[in-house]
Chain A
Amino acid sequence: MSNSEIDILKRALAREKAARKAAEKILESKAYELYVISEQLKESNSTLEKLVKEKTLELKGVFENIIDAYVVIDLNGDVIKMNDPAIGLLGFDNSNKASNVFSIVESSEADNVENAFKRLLYDGYLTNFEVKIKTKSNIKKLVHVNASIILDDNNNPIAAQGIVRDITASRKAEDNLIESENRLASLILNLDSGIVVEDENRKIVLTNKKFCDLFDIQDTPESLIGMDCAIASQYTKKLFADPDAYVEKSNDIFKNKTTILGDELTMIDGKILERDFVPIITKNESKGYLWTFTDVSIKRGFRKSLEAQRQKYRNIIANMNLGLCEVNTDGIIIMTNQSFLEMSGFTDAELIGKDAISIFTDLSEADILVEENKKRNKGESNSYELKVKIKSGEERLWLISGAPHYSINGEIVGSIGIHLDITELKMLQLQKENLVIELEKSNDELQEYAHIVSHDLKSPLRSIDALISWIKEDNKDKLDEVSIENFKHIETTLEKMELLISDVLEYSSVGFSDQEKNLVNLDDVVHGLIDMMYKPDHVKVEVLNKLPILTGDKTKLQQVFQNLISNAINFIDKDQGFVKIKVEELPAHYQFSVQDNGMGIEEKYHDKIFKIFHAVNKSKDSTGIGLSIVKKIVDLHDGKIWLESKPNMGTTFFFTIKK
């Protein structure tokens, strides 16, 4: 081997060595680079790891600390995990891991929950699910659930997590809101005032039933929405007494857009509407215009009649002839009317604010007023007489009708007295009483007088009769027949005269009752009378039915029958005569009749015969007073007497006696 060769080899070796060295150096630096990178990676990995850890922790904290309830369940519904609000909301006992969410669902919600759970499994999530639950502590709640499925590494569902919110209260509030909106709507619909809300363009936004009624619109309120008010008013104006003024005014009001209250409209049928116009402005923005129409006819009518009544009573008070005086509870005069001023002689100024007692009464009468005022304050009303002294100093007698005066609140604020001056009346009454007493006295005197006169008139008759008897006795056999006949005439005349005097006395005595009215059994009385009376053989007197028992003066009633029966007997001119007595019961009276078949009485005398001294046929036993006495007695018994008669056929006297 040559050096050259060796050199060549040596040089090749050296170059090889150098190349290796260079490669080693490169490798070394690459290895270092790698190291640095791997160090860097290592570092960033740990940072990431830390970050992930932090985030997980953070998330965990969020779930645990969120206010809403957070629940993780397995696919059977068993709770795996939940936060404190969940415990509170669902009422689970934290320690009891076996809690199952299906166990707290209301039984009625079972299907709902089943469907929702299927949806959750299928979609992987569930939102806005609402369900009613009943917690372990037995509280019913409405809850809102948002849930999602948790998957494992192989994308298989292993659990579900959800956020549960209690919406019981908010739902209730929502319901309330809806309800109150409904209420409001129905209120507007059924309001007793007609309502129209229109927008800027006069289109109807809202109206109600009453409006339709008032304006005689057949359509429903809803169908009017969108209608143009200006056009509508052209149709409705005919309902108003002055249609054009109505339209014009409506347009003016709308143009001005200011609130108008209590505008009155008279309708053609006499109804009166009160109209309000109110712009609705919220936050400076116009929301429309509210028209309100209210039927005030009745109210107006009340007010009118109230006013009329008030005027009426005011006029009565002002013009009545009764004095009116109002005092307060202390007896101070508050108000008087014209008549009171006239009767008292004072002026208004002299009375108002003064004490009524001290003005009008002296000490002796003051007590009465004090007593009456007490009654007023107790709420009693009554009438009393009071001696007062009026301004002229004259003493007058007043009849006062007092009544308590109440305030609107019902408390007594004084009394109102109506005063009537009865001084003259009282005097008249006293006069009347005196007159009655005097009349009674003079009646008694008259009665006495009648007796004395009749006595004085009868005495001479008796004396004449005695004297004639003596003359006849003393001159027995000396008198001729004519003289004896004349003496007889004198005696008959005396008898007639005595009868006349007796009848006149009796007639004048009929009005004076010696006896009180008693129950009289007329049947007994009349039968007794007939037995006692003189009856000629050819006359039959009979009572056809049973006579009643009634209240009256027995002697006088007997007199009536006696006079009528004896009259009937006296005037019988037939061979066979009868007198029939009968009674008929009327509602308030008994009607008696005495019928005969005598000579009868001509009709022209029917009234006359009851007048004193009007005997139609003068006879020995008739003075013409008998029927006058009968009439007077019947009158005294509140009855009537009349007759029916046919000449030559007979007469029936009818008379009634009050039951």
Chain B
Amino acid sequence: MRSLFLSRLTAIWLLLALVTIGSWVVGHGPGLVDHRLAGVVALVIAMVKVRFVILDFMEIRHAPLWLRLAGEVWCAGLAIGLTTLFLIG
């Protein structure tokens, strides 16, 4: 039982929860004075979280290359696309 819950999954969940609170502070708390920088940081943090969910919770970290590549390319593409759209806005 201990090995089941004291696992990499639990460490990732804790990390994601802490990062979520951190990005919330950046967006709403004292955070960053530069709103554009704060927005970019929030978007990048969101996509890093999404990548962890895809690789570790969805278990495609060790999946066949085509599946892992599809996940990685979608994450990177969306991160670049959203950040660009945000900055030109």
On whether the two chains bind one another, the answer is: no
**What residues make up the interface of B, taking CB atoms closer than 8 Å to A?**
none
**What residues make up the interface of A, taking CB atoms closer than 8 Å to B?**
none
